[in-house]
Chain A
């Protein structure tokens, strides 16, 4: 217990900050990509066109039954093979995260789209809007509004998930902390510090979700 050295955190702060920036950037891009692809998957699933909904459902269920680490390994291996050249760990990780999180976002969006009352769609049809116009102007705006708290919650989970890029040594906050921990021989201090940083960010996020929820229910 006696000889802890928390100065190691102070001196390696710039390095850790770079890692944190990478984590946040990866989270941000994956949320955007995941929501876009997830919405398309949800629309495909609810489209009523059998082959399309079957493909989307298979994709979502397949992704949801494998661990994220395995998906990260898959794309580290697959992306350079398909493209014929290496594109760097960041982009491989980004592709893995977008494709993985899209499956989870599509389930959220599906529930959101289904929560829009059928009367809204009928009203759109009777005003002469076509399918895409109804989705664009009537269904999706309401679905998004209903889903904002859950989308943010999923964003927090995604931020925690980005720590898994550790397995392919991409230098995010987790990997950076681990590098400092090992080179300085300060495992206890660094991992506790990492836990505190993640906690502060994720806890603030869940407070935000709570206030969003209470504001929406009034």
Chain B
């Protein structure tokens, strides 16, 4: 193995700033997508459990479509196909005037994809609430929406925190797919440094270390949240 080590290359001003900006894009894509995904995922997940058959079918269709098409294909569809399919004015706006097109597209694609996975966790969480509680709520004269608001959601949202931890880690990893539509996030920057300097080992190590740190911090945060939201008496329940 012939290889000239040069770790100092990572600290040259140009390459260091590439890594920092890559890290910034990775975190901003992942966190923006996560926030949107939580909202949509919660709605769709609840939708899969409601008595209304139409809402259930729509939610189930959403989950199946977004889960069964690779994220890369979805990314390309949002970036290349959607502007063509929209009415002309909108399409032109998306292609020409939309600020940060790569960033916005990556966030939308990642958010809608992640939402389908969160929805499944939310549904599983609601289904693990013992059916006796729903019956008790009905017996008290609570309407369907009241049952969700006061009984099902408060319990299930707290129970799905542990399984959501792995989804939260996944969103950071999946944000790397933004490089396929030209967003220079962390993985893309490390690849670019490798190409410019021929110091692939150092560049990829730097990216790996940063991803591991992100994962450690994210896991730590979720564990804190888990501790804070744990329901006494439900210890050991997993969604």
Contact = CB atoms under 8 A, between A and B. Distances in A.
B70 interface: yes
Given A191-B81, A192-B81, A67 B73 contact: no
Contacts of B208: 62, 66, 70, 74
A69 B80 contact: no
A67 B187 contact: yes
B127 interface: no
Secondary structure class of chain A's binding surface, majority of residues: helix
Interface stretch (B31-39, B41-49, B101-109, B199-207): B199-207
Contacts of A81: 1, 3, 200
B179 A65 contact: no
Contact of B70 (A69, A78, A174): A174
B76 A1 contact: no
B15 interface: no
Interface string B1-34: 1010000000000000000000000000000000
B207 A70 contact: yes
Interface string B132-152: 000000000000000000000
B124 interface: no
Contact of B190 (A70, A156, A195): A70
Interface of A: 1, 62, 64-70, 73-74, 77-78, 81-82, 84, 156, 160-161, 163-164, 166-167, 174, 178, 181, 187-188, 191-192, 194-195, 198-199, 202-203, 206
Interface of B: 1, 3, 64-65, 67-74, 76-77, 80-81, 84-85, 169, 172-177, 179-180, 187, 190-191, 194, 200-201, 204, 207-208, 211-212, 214-216
